[in-house]
Amino acid sequence: MKQLWILPLVFFAGMGLSIEAGLLGPLGEEIGHIWATLGIFALGSILLTFGLIFGRPRLSLMFKQPRWLLAGGLLGPIYVVSLTVATPLIGVGLTMVGILFGQVAASLIIDHWGLLGSNKRAVDKYRIGALIAILAALWLI
């Protein structure tokens, strides 16, 4: 597997999502779920602004792409609000395994059919088994 080097990056990114959930839950309880979401995105926007200032802006290229590709920007706030609301109610573990189940299920569909411009990768019994294992983990947690 040529891309083995990327696995630590995605593992750490996954760990970051759990930490984010652990931080957003209490923040949302204290200041409100929507305000916590807005605060997190405001901070991210400030950080990204530095990238635009010191990097080479390519916004003109972005807006030349098909509009449906920009729909991903709508999904981030939905994800963060979901973390903010769910974490205090069901805990970080159950929240993250539930999200993982949804991610893997959607990913298998996208891969199998080659949706959203991705390459087709057939869903086999091993991938279905992995999805069932995540469902078992969701039930056990």
The tens digit of pLDDT for each residue in 25-42 reads 889 999 999 999 999 889
Higher pLDDT, 9 or 33: 33
Residue 23 lies in a domain: yes
Whole-number average pLDDT of the chain: 87
User: Which tokens in the block code for residue 12?
Assistant: 């750490």
* Torsion angles phi and psi, residue 90, rounded to 5: -120, -5
Neighbours of 36 (CB within 10 A): 23
Rounded CA gap, 84 and 27, in Å? Answer: 8
Residues 15-25: tens digit of each pLDDT: 888 888 888 88
Structure confidence at residue 99 (pLDDT): 93
Is 1 domain-assigned?
no
Closest listed residue to residue 116, CA positions, set 81, 72, 74:
72
Say yes or no to pLDDT of 141 above 70.
yes
Cα 96 from Cα 111, distance rounded (Å):
22
The parent domain of residue 109 ranges over 7-140
Please report whether residue 74 resides in a domain: yes
Q: Using 50, 70 and 90 to split pLDDT, how confident is the model at 57?
A: low
pLDDT recorded at residue 100: 93
Residue 2 inside a domain? The answer is no
Give pTM, 2 decimals.
Answer: 0.78
In a domain, residue 86? The reply is yes
Alpha-carbon distance 61 to 59, whole Å?
A: 5
pLDDT (average), residues 43-62? 78
25 inside domain: yes
Q: Is residue 2 helix, strand or coil? A: coil
Please state the rounded mean pLDDT for residues 44-58.
78
The 3-class secondary structure across 10-77, one letter per residue, is: HHHHHHHHHHHHHHHHHHHHHHCHHHHHHHHHHHHHHHHHHHHHHCCCCHHHHCCCCHHHHHHHHHHH
> Which amino acid makes up residue 121?
R
The predicted structure's pLDDT at residue 21:
87
Q: Is 140 in a helix, a strand, or coil?
A: helix
Per the CB < 8 A criterion, the answer to whether 80 and 27 are in contact is: no
How many separate domains does the chain show? 1
Domain assignment of residue 29, yes or no: yes
pLDDT, mean of residues 103-117? 92
The pLDDT assigned to 6 comes to 84
pLDDT number for residue 117: 83
